Amino acid sequence: MPFLKKTLRFGVVGALTAVLHYGLLYIGVEALQLNVTVASSLGFVVAVIFNYLMHYSWTFDEPAPHGRTLRRYLVMIGCGFLINGAVMYAGVQWVVLNYLLTQALALVVVVSWNFVMSNVWVFRR
């Protein structure tokens, strides 16, 4: 699949994943009164499941078999989860930014990490 087409699909899936993550974060904080880091982390987990299924079935043309791909994806996401949590904690607790703005910063960092790792390692045959 051409790189541009794959990049556009990655962006569409990423945008949908971000909407899902933000929605769950907002509901967690505002409706359920969860701590922002906890709400963000829970939203991250749900969004990751959606993201994997969409990338595997739509974004990447003929990825490696599920077993290997899923193991690699989980390593990438585990690192992304830690990155997301660290940025959320630092932004909200140390820099004292609004949690939604902080999540936007975390999103940029994690998406960049995921894009590179997905293309060079996770979904490669």
pLDDT (tens digit, 9 = 90+) per residue, 57-116? 899 877 678 889 999 999 999 999 899 999 999 999 999 999 989 989 998 999 899 999
More confident residue, 2 or 97: 97
Domains of the chain: total:
1
Q: How far apart are CA 102 and CA 97, in angstroms?
A: 6
Q: Give the pair of three-digit tokens for residue 45.
A: 């987990």
pLDDT at 2: 85
Range of the domain at 108: 3-122
Which tens digits make up the pLDDT trace of 48-57? 899 999 999 8
